[in-house]
Amino acid sequence: MASNNQDLPEATVQNVLEQDTLKWVFVGGKGGVGKTTCSSILGILLSQFRSSVLIISTDPAHNLSDAFQQRFTKSPTLVNGFTNLYAMEIDPTVEKEDSVSSDGMDDFLSDLTNAIPGIDEAMSFAEMLKLVQTMDYSVIVFDTAPTGHTLRLLQFPSTLEKGLAKVMSLKNRFGGMLSQMTRLLGVDEEFGEAAILGKLEGMKGIIEEVNRQFKDPDLTTFVCVCIPEFLSLYETERLVQELAKFEIDTHNIIINQVIFDEEVVESKLLKARMRMQQKYLDQFYMLYDDFNITKLPLLPQEVCGVDALKEFSHHFVTPYQPSLARGSVEELQNRVAALKEQLKDAEAELEKVQKGKQKI
């Protein structure tokens, strides 16, 4: 099926680039499949269509700095060589330290976040989104952590909502006691019960608005990145199912590290890998026949630095074409030349071994 796909959707990310209403583009998948490279290149390509683009890494491993070979922090930094592309690296599990200290509610909020599993990340994510919303970027690309963390990130709105409901129920049960204690202890009004609940309500408002935007296919899309192997196929299917559950649009899959049958390959290992990959490529096309599937070639070197990212980016907008067609006159001539070269090397090695034996 992979070999005859004229009727399938376009095998590029052009649809994402041309959808000018998009505000949020998530890039996710299993660890080690090339998410950071793909999100970096999507950012570069989008910067050609949009007035300003921000790439945010939410993966604690932070490979964004390595991809661009430039140091990024938790504040947006202009990427070298661009006038409208920015990048930042944040860690949702750490950012909460900065997010609460300015209001003097550290202890209370710390106890609260420990009492409700997952709410600490939800609150810090809300703080980050509040910061991002104050910045006027045309589109924001999320380079997400591996699938499990990404799915947790998408659950944050409901986590925060549940957490707030718990707090409100506690307030209803012990509200009078809390008020009396804050007055007895001489706690300032700005750090009292109303202020704390106000802060949480404010976060809930932000996260609900973002949640609404995330569920709007005109504003948000999710690009799944994978490699043609069983575990990655399984993880992609899980991710697509979960995204459907969260009502988040996804119609693009990037299959990275594909070995194309174009070289004079005599290696049994490479031939076996190609056969294995083709089996899973066929399954991808069968499962996701209505998706835009982009295949990227496995390279002999890493894609690091702006120049390398730009050079590799054309595979995202133009389907990769093997340089030589298998069975063509040119390919057969190349194969014969390679075999002659191998024969020549083998004869030279044999002659050397025979001379060594004669000396003994």
Instruction: Write down the pLDDT at residue 49.
Output: 95
Say if residue 34 carries a ligand binding annotation: yes
| 239, 29 contact by CB (below 8 A) | yes
Say if residue 310 carries a ligand binding annotation: no
Instruction: Write down the pLDDT at residue 110.
Output: 55
Instruction: Write down the pLDDT at residue 22.
Output: 94
Residues of the chain under the 50 pLDDT cut: 1-5, 94-105, 185, 189-191
Helix (H) or strand (E) holding 334: helix 329-359
Active-site residue, from 20, 59, 103, 345: 59
Q: What is the pLDDT of residues 66-99, one digit of tens each?
A: 999 999 988 899 999 999 999 998 865 544 444 4
Place of tokens 């979960």: 242
Say if residue 192 carries a ligand binding annotation: no
Say if residue 28 carries a ligand binding annotation: no
Every domain of the chain and the residues it spans: 13-323, 325-359
Residue-wise DSSP of 212-270: HHHT-TTTEEEEEEE-SSHHHHHHHHHHHHHHHHTT----EEEEEEE--TTS----HHH
Largest Cα–Cα separation, the chain: 103
Sheet with strand 24-29: strands edge to edge: 77-78, 85-89, 53-57, 139-143, 24-29, 220-226, 252-258, 292-297
Say if residue 84 carries a ligand binding annotation: no
Does domain 13-323 fall under CATH 3.40.50.2300? My reply is no
Angle between helix axes 193-214 and 106-115 (nearest 10 degrees) is 50
Instruction: Write down the pLDDT at residue 284.
Output: 95
Say if residue 190 carries a ligand binding annotation: no
| 128, 93 contact by CB (below 8 A) | no
Triad 180, 186, 188: Cα angle to 5°: 100
Say if residue 31 carries a ligand binding annotation: yes
Say if residue 36 carries a ligand binding annotation: yes
CA–CA separation, 270 and 255 (whole Å): 18
Q: What is the pLDDT of residues 180-230, one digit of tens each?
A: 555 554 555 444 556 666 666 666 677 677 778 888 999 999 999 999 999
Question: Does residue 59 have an active-site annotation?
Answer: yes
